[in-house]
């Protein structure tokens, strides 16, 4: 694979910029979107575009119900979990089967992380295609596990794909943007909105609606349905949301692309470079602090467990100086459970090295240490054996 310097010489443009900014670190792109928005086709087109630039991506398919995928996946959930078998064994419907299959796959996602780490020197981009049922990934425990696992190690960007041709309706547009806002706040990661299918309808109207509240209100005034009244009130919330993004230094980048003819792919990669740089400055410190807090919490938990163990064993000094000071005088060792540990293997003065009763004592000790239920089992076996012999 070409290095950053070779990429500049080959004129890779945004790809080279992303590699230079991240100093060859891996960028994970989690592709989300409503069913029919063109997520899988977009992943296919982006994969082809990156191959043409000499930077082949690492591809992961997380949709267990897809019949076939138009790109060569390095990791495919269908190779790990049988979607139809999950439905049959658990008695689930299609959506429940997808959720369960994704949950089962998430329990082994640590192995996926190891595969990505091994290939990060060869693949600068990791593309993750998610199920068409967007709520399966965004609001499930497995989706959270996968997202946080990636974000805690690699530069991670959420890519939300919208169907531009359907979003010409202001009510549909508002629904898409509200969903995008909820995902942004849930993931707390750099966010890029892909206005797909601009080969059918140009996305300039959507950009104008996001920038100018009055323009969006004018479009809503042409709608007279109940849904439009609800959307009109929700648009005030969304306008406040846009302003809060600017105040909190959060951004929703909007890019128009066509997954069919490849229009806008270079612009998208430029936005990825900016989002990856934003992750390094705004988000990675947060995950580093989170990781440090988890490590400190783990150490504190172990210390508490050790302290609890010491209390359970009794107030006995077990430091090495105490042991050496009293090892020659067993009567000075403090009473308690630890005294048995300290004196184990040390012979008393009146104890002989060899004893004819060692085997008997050992057998008696073992019998006394058995569980009562097991003792009863042994007694029953002895009685049964004696009865058989008498017969």
Residue bearing tokens 């091994």: 118
Q: Are residues 246 and 333 in the same domain?
A: no
Are 154 and 270 in the same domain? Answer: yes
- Percent pLDDT > 70 in the chain is 71
Per-position b or e across 336-351, b if 16+ CB within 10 A of its CB: eebeeebeeeeeeeee
Is the pLDDT assigned to residue 95 strictly greater than 80? yes
Do 286 and 339 belong together in one domain? no
Domain boundary among 232, 263, 295: 295
DSSP summary character for residue 71: S
Q: Is the pTM of this model over 0.85?
A: no
Q: Are residues 231 and 329 in the same domain?
A: no
Residues 131 and 270 in one domain: yes
249 and 328 housed in the same domain: no
* 156 against 284, higher pLDDT: 156
Look at 353 and 165; give whichever has higher pLDDT: 165
Assigned domain for 364 exists: no
Domain count, the chain: 2
Where in the sequence is the domain holding 285, given as residue range(s)?
A: 4-295
Our CA angle for 135, 139, 142, nearest 5°, is 105
Q: What is the pLDDT of residues 282-293, one digit of tens each?
A: 887 777 777 777
35: nearest Cα among 59, 72, 63, 58: 63
For residue 391, is it within any domain?
Answer: no
Whether residue 173 lies inside any domain: the answer is yes
- Cβ neighbours of residue 70 closer than 8 Å, sequence gap 6 or more: 40, 41, 44
Separation of alpha carbons 126 and 119, rounded Å: 10
Whether 334 and 317 have beta carbons less than 8 Å apart is answered as: yes
Per-residue DSSP letter, 332: G
Would you say residue 366 lies in a domain? no
Per-residue pLDDT tens digits for 229-257? 777 777 777 776 666 554 444 556 789 99
């Amino acid at each position: 694979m070409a290095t950053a310097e070779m990429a500049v010489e080959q004129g890779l443009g945004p790809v080279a910029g992303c590699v230079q900014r991240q100093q060859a670190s891996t960028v994970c792109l989690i592709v989300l979107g409503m069913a029919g928005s063109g997520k899988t086709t977009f992943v296919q087109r982006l994969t082809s575009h990156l191959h043409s630039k000499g930077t082949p991506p690492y591809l992961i398919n997380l949709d267990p119900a897809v019949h076939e995928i138009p790109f060569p996946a390095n990791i495919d959930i269908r190779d790990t979990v049988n979607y139809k078998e999950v439905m049959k064994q658990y008695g689930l419907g299609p959506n429940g089967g997808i959720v369960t299959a994704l949950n089962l796959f998430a329990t082994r996602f640590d192995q996926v992380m190891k595969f990505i780490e091994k290939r990060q020197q060869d693949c600068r981009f990791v593309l993750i295609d998610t199920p068409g049922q967007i709520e399966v990934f965004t609001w499930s425990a497995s989706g959270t596990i996968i997202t946080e696992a990636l974000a805690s190690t690699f530069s991670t960007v959420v890519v939300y794909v919208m169907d531009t041709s359907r979003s010409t309706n202001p009510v549909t547009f508002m629904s898409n943007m509200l969903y995008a806002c909820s995902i942004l706040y849930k993931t707390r990661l750099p966010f890029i909105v892909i206005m797909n299918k601009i080969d059918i309808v140009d996305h300039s109207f959507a950009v104008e609606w996001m920038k100018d509240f009055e323009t969006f209100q004018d479009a809503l005034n042409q709608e007279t349905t109940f849904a439009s009244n609800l959307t009109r009130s929700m648009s005030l919330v969304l306008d406040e949301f846009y302003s809060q993004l600017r105040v909190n230094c959060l951004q929703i980048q909007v890019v128009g692309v066509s997954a069919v003819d490849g229009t806008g792919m270079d612009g998208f990669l430029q936005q990825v470079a900016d989002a990856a740089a934003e992750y390094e400055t705004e988000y990675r410190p947060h995950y580093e602090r989170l990781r440090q807090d988890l490590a400190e919490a783990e150490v504190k938990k172990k210390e508490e467990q050790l302290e609890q163990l010491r209390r359970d064993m009794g107030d006995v000094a077990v430091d090495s100086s105490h042991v050496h000071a009293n090892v020659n005088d067993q009567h000075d060792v403090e009473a308690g459970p630890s005294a048995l540990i300290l004196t184990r293997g040390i012979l008393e003065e009146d104890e002989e090295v060899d004893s004819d009763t060692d085997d008997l004592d050992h057998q008696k000790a073992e019998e006394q240490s058995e569980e009562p239920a097991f003792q009863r089992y042994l007694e029953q076996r002895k009685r049964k054996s004696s009865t058989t012999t008498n017969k």
